[in-house]
Structure 1
Amino acid sequence: MLIRVAVITPEDFAPLITECAEEFTNILYTTYYYGNPMECDQLMEQIQDCDVLLFAGPLPYYFAMRTSGQRKLPAVYIPSDEYTLTLNLGHILLNREEGLKSLSVDIPKLAYLQQAVEEWQLDASGWCVRDYSQIIDGVGTNFDPEALIHFHRENVESGRANLVLTSVDYVHTQLRDAGIPCVNLIVPKKSIREALVKAAHFGQLMISENAQIAVGLAAINPVDGDLGTSTKPDAGIMLQQMLLELGKETDASIQQLGLDQFIIYGTRGSIEQMTGDFTHMPAMGNMEQLFNVTISMGFGFGMTAKEAEANARIGLFHARKQPESSSAFLVTNEKEVIGPLDVNPRAFHLKSDNRDILHVAEQTGLSVATITKLTSFINLRRDNRFTATDLAEYLQFSRRSAERMLKKLMDKGFVETVGEEQPYQQGRPRAVYRINF
């Protein structure tokens, strides 16, 4: 099985990755170069026809994830970890006359350097160190390449350091050109090979997933009352023509189940292509305006056609719960519901083996699906404080329904009020809640 890998790297680091990649006969790689890692989100727009992304380090991975995350592509990066730092400290000790007494260092995570220093049993009390841990842990110091350049330059010019060790290619280039004694982090071949093995493994999983059986269901819904006898056949004919064209483009089979419902047979890869990696429902032209209808679509994946069709019916059920507009939902073989399919689709699980979620569901009488929606809501916000209105908008509930849900959770101690907000000068203030599970 040939795995197509897109390698995102600085140009001067590419030969080392190429040398290691040539050892793997099952990898076909294409290289994309960047100068500043903060520009990698733009570079992602150029990448086509690949199974997995391989980044030269955690920085390009971090800045590209906004785009690659939407495309649902698996991605790995070559780490700048304690093993890498241990190798680099040894290299400086043996090859640089400045030695290790006065270093100015930038690293993704401080703990990596602490472990390397412990391995070498070094005295690092005179070192100037700055990390950018947010890219690894999601919290901590932000990454600012210009601030790092200023940090290192000031340390060397003031005499606090006589050598810079940087983990950022862009910073190394700028300091080197300015005549600052600087060493770029050496990446061991072992780390590159391990990242390539991981990329190949993820690529194989991706290809296997894309071959998974997929079923789609499309149905016509009247907007106002029943469709007229002449309108319904016309809408059905037009929908069938659109689906047949879509089937030709994605190698999927289309069959008519009734006057207003169709079934689509394909693979996971064909549905991903049809929905733009789950970012939009297939285009239905101007059927809504022509026939005063909406289109509901449900897609399902499974190990068998029966399982995929059952999941598609669940997706169609959720799509039909939004009668005011056309929508599509997708249900995976792991019972994850994704939708409505748009630029920012929501996701929740219909089942869970998470004991905390099961405990909350059992204590409150709420469904597992509802509790997983709630946890997805908090994870998406990265802020465990919200109002009933915030929750209602996310869940597409009425505010009253969201308040009833919150009351059940509060009665069992899973939610508490932590304050109030008053977005308008008049009217009652809104309670601000926090989840405790």
Structure 2
Amino acid sequence: MKIKVAVIGRKEIIESMENYVKDQEDIEVYPFIYTETKETLDLLEKAFMCDIYLFAGAIPYLYAKEKIEKKKLPAVQVAFDQYMILTSFYHVKNYHNQALDRLSIDVLDSRHVDEVLQEIKLSDNQIYSYSYGDDDTVDIERIASFHENLWNEGKIDYALTSIQEVKDILKEKDIPTSCMKIPQLNLERAIDEAKSIATLNQSISAQIVAGYIQIKDYEKIASQKGDYHVQNLHLKLHQILLKYSQKTYASVLFNGKGQFAIFGTRGILNHLTNHYRDFPLLKEIERAIETSVDIGFGLGLTAKQAEDNAKNALDACGQASEGTCYIVNERGDTIGPLGVEKEFNTSELYRSLIHKAKLNNELSYNFIDFIEIRNNEPFSSNDIADYYRVTKRSAERTVKKLLAGNVIKIVGEEKPYLKGRPRKLFQLNQ
């Protein structure tokens, strides 16, 4: 089945991407062309049938960022990086005959400009950069005014912009300007990254989740309180599980003797991964039936594997006197107990991420959210790739920074369900 990639951008950029994928049988590009970047949100709504969203520009991504994060949509942005800036400098100098001084430039992150200037040993005394990635809201007029003010003050001879609309505004005011060119390599890498993430998401969607819900000390309760009491427990428990199954698109079966089975895929998996710290199902059940229950969930690529892992998770619950919930994933890792918060020092972690691992603010906050959602359980680079919706290679780069900064430590290896080398498991070094 072909991966459907919604590409949101200008016509000429999308045409370059379509040309790149025309001979690839496993991917199909759906063009969503805008003339003004503010059209991005409307285009995003029209692209609901696609597997992933690819933004061929920094500004359209910023327009859609809030909705992407709120709905956790799989999205990729063409890199506006050092290579793009260097390529654009080359075009300014060799095609527009403009010296690389007395120049203004707008970019997503001005640090990239500083890095390029340092690399080519060029002074930045007469190069003025504007970093619109730091702005709270997207404002095309404000970015254009940055260039115009410098021109009116006689500080620049040329404006280099990454936004077509800014170029159009400056052209009307007779300010010499050109639009930065996105290198073909950056376009191709974005397509490849989108394909990798969509493939990963399809793989996750194929996972099967099995669960066993068992009334704790069932035989003892039945002998002490009789059949009518346990039948009433079964009825109440069944009603709660039916509501849960409707919410998570799962199926519920009654196995008898105080045990129910539940089966699902992506819906129930999403619920589990979002409630490591506060597993509400367990609390709701025990509050309603006033009896402890054990819940064991198993993940697998086949129903048999998921069932076996669910039984192992239920066995892990038996070690506690009170009701608990555990998960055994497709690699055989035991996660839990769910609903029991594993504390960690968020302030200390944030400082370590910024100063030791050298991550930016956004990545640091996202990583803290990742640790909180997973309840500080061991994780792999694959888990990071899934959470951030990035390629495994990108996740591994983040892991290397975390290890180098002594933010995390290796705590074991996961058991792969496919042939290959074992993958390392990590945990906070606190």
Which category of TM-score, normalised to the shorter sequence, fits these structures? 0.5 to 0.7
1:348-359 residue pairs with structure 2 within 5 A?
A: none
For structure 1, which segment, 48-57 or 152-161, has the greater mean C-alpha deviation from structure 2 after superposition? 48-57
* Residue number in structure 2 paired with 1:271: 268
Contact 2:27–2:195 (Cα < 8 Å) also in 1: yes
Q: Which residue of 2 aligns with 1:157?
A: 152
2:236 is aligned to 235
Amino acid at match of 2:268: I
1:255-270 to 2 correspondences below 5 Å: 255-258=253-256, 260-267=258-265, 269-270=266-267
Q: Per-residue CA shift, 1:1-30, capped at 9, x if unaligned? A: 522223233566433333334343311233
Query: Following superposition of structure 1 onto structure 2, how do residues 390-409 of structure 1 map, counting pairs within 5 Å?
Result: none
| Contact 1:78–1:195, Cα closer than 8 Å, also in 2 | yes
Task: Report if aligned partners of 1:156, 1:180 keep a CA contact under 8 Å in 2.
Answer: yes
1:147-192 CA-to-partner distances (Å, cap 9, x unmatched) read 4332111011222112211223454444445554332211011210
For residue 156 of structure 2, give the secondary structure of its aligned residue in structure 1. coil
Letter in 1 for 2:100: L
Contact 2:93 2:99 in 1 (8 A): yes
**1: CA distance between counterparts of 2:112 and 2:132?**
12
How far apart, CA to CA, are the structure 1 residues paired with 2:155 and 2:138?
21
Contact 1:218 1:316 (8 Å CA) reproduced: no
Question: Structure 2: how far apart are the matches of 1:277 and 1:2?
Answer: 28
The answer to whether the 8 Å contact 2:306/2:330 transfers is no
C-alpha distance 106-266 of structure 1, shift in aligned 2 (>3 A): same
- 1:210 aligned to 2:205? yes
Report matched runs for 1:5-404 at 5 Å.
5-10=5-10, 13-32=13-32, 47-58=47-58, 60-61=60-61, 64-69=64-69, 71-117=71-117, 122=122, 124-132=124-132, 145=139, 146-218=141-213, 228=229, 231-239=232-240, 242=243, 250=249, 253-258=251-256, 260-267=258-265, 269-272=266-269, 275=271, 278=274, 299-302=297-300, 304-306=305-307, 308-309=309-310, 313=314, 332-333=329-330, 335=333, 370=342, 373-374=343-344
Q: Return the TM-score normalized by structure 1.
A: 0.58
- 8 Å contact kept, 1:107–1:131: yes
Unaligned 5+ runs, structure 2: 356-371, 374-406, 408-427
C-alpha offsets along residues 347-377 of structure 1, whole Å, 9 cap, x if unaligned?
x8xxxxxxxxxxxxxxxxxxxxx3xx41568
CA contact (8 A) 2:298 2:307 kept: no
One-letter identity of the residue aligned with 1:255:
L
Q: Which SS does the other structure have where 1:374 is aligned?
A: coil
1:238 to partner: Cα distance: 3.5
198-207 vs 91-100, which moves further:
91-100
Equivalent position of 1:389 in the other structure: none
298-307 vs 332-341, greater mean Cα deviation = 332-341
2:211–2:307 Cα contact (<8 Å) kept: no
Deviation (angstroms), 1:313: 4.1
Distance 1:310 1:207 in 2: 26
Secondary structure of the structure 2 residue equivalent to 1:215: strand
Q: Tell me the matched-pair count.
A: 345
Q: Once the 2 structures are TM-superposed, how far is the Cα of residue 233 of structure 1 from its aligned partner?
A: 4.2
| Percent of residue pairs bearing the same amino acid type | 23
Q: Distance in 2 between matches of 1:332 and 1:64?
A: 34
Distance 2:46 2:293 in 1: 33
Q: For the residues of structure 2 that align with 1:315 and 1:63, how far apart are their CA atoms?
A: 47
C-alpha root-mean-square deviation of aligned residues, in Å?
Answer: 5.3
Look up the match of 2:387.
none
Unaligned 5+ segments in structure 1 are: 135-140, 349-369, 385-393, 396-413, 415-434
Report the TM-score, using the length of structure 2 for normalisation.
0.59
